Amino acid sequence: MDFYEKTEKESIIYQGKIIKVKELDIKLPNGLMGKREIVEHPGAVAILTTTKDGKIVLIKQFRKACEEILWEIPAGKLEKGEAPLDCAKRELKEETGYTARNWALLGKFYTSPGFCNELIYIYLASNLIAGEAILDEDENLEQYLLDSSQIDNLIENGHIKDMKTITALLFFKQLQSKDKGD
């Protein structure tokens, strides 16, 4: 099947510091015209950080877009030209103080492909060395080390409301159950 939507006209609506907003006139495969509202985003990383005794680092922070405090794994946006793994190491250090000796990519996913090109790289970081966090002056967060029963509790009670975080936690549970040999 021919799926391609050809851009016939592009209007830049907004160039912010983080996002860029465009309106596109597109030509559909059936010849009809359509409109698309698009948000461009630099991409991001998120880090499932696990200690030797199987605890996971979660942070609590206020998210203005949602007007609520969320439980999340450490995460941050890619800087211009930055490789995702470098970004993950930088963000983990800045937000939590941890550095990690072992890194593995769990996957990369579009957060909301219906209108936005944000691609998020989810890493597993282990073999940790604790250190001092270096927060931006507009970052305000609390750090927690939770064991797997506490994590299960948060998931079962619907307290994990951030999709990158639930994705990473479900991947981790799956890895753990594989390690146990089921």
| Interface positions, 3-42, toward a copy of itself (CB under 8 A) | 3-5, 7, 13-14, 16-19, 21, 23-24, 26, 28-30, 32, 34-39, 41
Q: Which is nearer to a copy of itself, 24 or 146 (CB)?
A: 24
Which of positions 136-165 make contact with a copy of itself (CB under 8 A)?
A: 137-138, 140, 142, 158, 160-164
Burial environment of residue 20 by CB neighbours within 10 A (0 to 12, 13 to 18, 19 or more): middle
The two beta strands, 56-63 and 68-72, are: antiparallel
* CA–CA gap between residue 12 and residue 141 (Å, rounded): 34
Rounded Cα distance between 93 and 47, Å, is: 11
CB 37 within 8 Å of CB 114: no
Distance of closest approach, residue 86 Cβ to a copy of itself, in angstroms: 19
Among 52, 53, 65, 80, binds a copy of itself (CB under 8 A): 65
Span near a copy of itself by CB under 8 A; candidates 51-59, 84-92, 123-131, 170-178: 170-178
Q: Is 43 left (phi over 0), alpha (psi -120 to 50) or beta?
A: left
CA 89 – CA 100 distance, rounded (Å): 8
133 binds a copy of itself (CB under 8 A): no
Question: Is residue 111 within the footprint of a copy of itself (CB under 8 A)?
Answer: yes
> 144 and 60 in contact (C-beta within 8 Å)?
yes
What's the closest the beta carbon of residue 110 comes to a copy of itself, in angstroms?
6
Q: Measured between alpha carbons, how far is 182 from 179 in angstroms, rounded to an integer?
A: 8
With CB under 8 A as the contact rule, the residue among 8, 9, 63, 79 that binds a copy of itself is 63
> Nearer to a copy of itself by C-beta: 55 or 173?
173
The catalytic residue among 94, 137, 139, 156 is: 137
Is the Cβ–Cβ distance between 142 and 59 less than 8 Å?
yes
| Whether 137 is catalytic | yes
Residue positions annotated with a catalytic role: 137
